[in-house]
Amino acid sequence: MSYAFPDSDPRPPRRSRRGPLTVAVVAPVAAALAGWLVWQAVADSGDGGTPKAAPPSQQQSSAAAGTTAPASPTASDRDGPDDADDGTDGDKNDGNQGDEASSSAPAATGPLKGKVVVIDPGHNPGNFRHTAEISRLVDIGTHRKECDTTGTSTNAGYTEAQFTLDVSRRLRALLEKQGATVRFTQDGDRAWGPCVDERARIGNKAGADAVVSVHADGSAAGNRGFHVILPGSVKAGAADTRAIVGPSRELGERIAGNFVRVTGSAPSNYVGNGTGLVVRRDLGGLNLSTVPKVFIECGNMRDSKDASLVTSGAWRQKAAQGISEGIVSFLRG
């Protein structure tokens, strides 16, 4: 996902009904997490990140020729990008589904019974074949920007769109076991998109209790770690995030803490001042949301060490687990 010009807001007071975020720090990342342990005392930095480099054309070709794997993870997952479903099973429609979400059947039992979670797998494996469609501008309240982008990739050609679908499907399976009804903005079942404004509307129409947009970053080599993007306070045009800023921050904090604990990954060393939290006002998926929503950049695909993580099926399962446990913690209170 592109990263440009984040804004910073003062941290709103936490609601008393939820306990403080606890972060378990493991020895291999103790030094990197020093800033994380003091995040409650530090406001978001608003640091500007490094824009992503577009994947080379040969990487796009690799995406088009990707393999197909089961939608849900299995015990036989093997490390490497070839165990991910890239969703490139043909253009099933024209990319315009009228803000409808792909939906799972509601689970019969579990602590999240009655809760609706919308998962937004970033980008789409078919986007690179529909550059005209995804390049058109849409209104995100504060300004107009591209409908969507192709996303980034590792230097070896494993695309962000493959990664986000695989993690999202693993995440869905985990949440359904907790009793949640899970809906997707796209599940490799459309030719391109949806646009960022439609992604927001899908969560809004579902009346979601939480929405998480899954991504991986494409910054410079040496930039490592994850970060969670929170909505800033926006009131412009169709965008009004004031009611969701507080709960979205709480959702983001819960996800960040559990992501550290489960994956052992450190918060970003290039944005967020070690907190793993960044506030932005330039993302349509956040600006137009009326329900609690965050983005998570699970790692930097252009760094070789982070790339070795995102291309591992075992690590992607941990990433899904960390996100799931954060969502569960938020929804259970």
Catalytic residue, chosen from 160, 253, 297, 325, is 297
Count the alpha carbons within 13 Å of 252 in the hemisphere toward its beta carbon.
35
For residues 37 and 24, what is the distance between their CA atoms, to the nearest angstrom?
9
Burial class (CB in 10 A: 0-12, 13-18, 19+), 205: middle
Enumerate the β-bridge partners of residue 297: 215, 227
Q: Which of 319, 3, 307, 313 is nearest to 155 (CA)?
A: 307
Distances from the Cα of 7 to the Cα of 85, 278, 288, angstroms: 34, 8, 16
Q: Does 146 participate in catalysis according to the annotation? A: no
**Distance in Å from the first CA to the final CA of the chain:** 30
Q: Is the dihedral of CA 194, 179, 328, 243 positive or negative?
A: positive
Containing 126, the helix (H) or strand (E) segment is none
* Residues noted as catalytic: 297
